[in-house]
Amino acid sequence: MSAELDNAGKSVTVIGGGVAGMSAACALAEVGLRVQLVERRGYLGGRASSYLHPGVNEVIDNCQHVLFGCCTNLVGFYRRIGVAEKLHWTRDMTMIEPDGRRSRLGPFEIGRWGLPAPLHGTPSLMRARAFSLADKLALGRAFRAMMRPGALDHSSETLGDWLRRHKQTRGAMDRFWRLVVASALNADIENIAVPYAAKVIRELFMNSADAGAMGMSTVPLSELYAGAERYLAGRGSRVFYNSNVEALNWDEGSRKWSIETRNGTLSSEYTVVALPFEAARKLLAKMPAADGAGALMAKIEKHEHWPLCSVHLWFDREITNLPHAVLLDREIHWLYNKSKLQPWRKLTGSYVELVVSASRSFAALSREQAIEHSVCELAEFFPTVKEAKLEKAALVKEVRATFGVPPGIDAARPDSVSPWPQLFLAGDWTNTGWPSTMESAARSGHLAAEALTNAAGAAQMFLLPDLKPKGLMRFV
Ligand SMILES: Cc1cc2nc3c(=O)[nH]c(=O)nc-3n(C[C@H](O)[C@H](O)[C@H](O)COP(=O)(O)OP(=O)(O)OC[C@H]3O[C@@H](n4cnc5c(N)ncnc54)[C@H](O)[C@@H]3O)c2cc1C
Residue 345 CA to ligand 1 center (angstroms) comes to 25
Q: Who's near 410: CB < 8 A, 6+ residues apart?
A: 193, 431, 433
Cα dihedral sign, 66-72-73-76 = positive
**pLDDT confidence of residue 360:** 84
Q: Is the separation of the CB atoms in 304 and 457 below 8 Å?
A: no
Residue 354 CA to ligand 1 center (angstroms) comes to 20
How many Cβ atoms are within 10 Å of 130's Cβ, its own excluded?
Answer: 22
**pLDDT confidence of residue 2:** 35
Minimum CA distance residue for ligand 1 atom 15: 437
Q: Is the separation of the CB atoms in 59 and 220 below 8 Å?
A: yes
- For residue 417, report the phi and psi dihedrals to the nearest 5 degrees: -75, 130
Residue 436 CA to ligand 1 center (angstroms) comes to 9
Residue 47 CA to ligand 1 center (angstroms) comes to 3
Say how far apart CA 87 and CA 463 lie, in whole Å: 21
**Mutational pocket test of ligand 1: of 50, 65, 200, the residue with most ligand atoms within 8 Å of the beta carbon:** 65
Say how far apart CA 468 and CA 164 lie, in whole Å: 31
SS3 205: helix
Say how far apart CA 365 and CA 356 lie, in whole Å: 12
**pLDDT confidence of residue 17:** 98
Asked whether 463 lines ligand 1 (CB < 6 A), one says no
Say how far apart CA 327 and CA 345 lie, in whole Å: 25
Q: Which residues of the chain have pLDDT under 50?
A: 1-7
pTM for the full model?
Answer: 0.96
* Alpha-carbon distances of 35 from 221, 374, 462, 463, rounded to whole Å: 22, 44, 16, 19
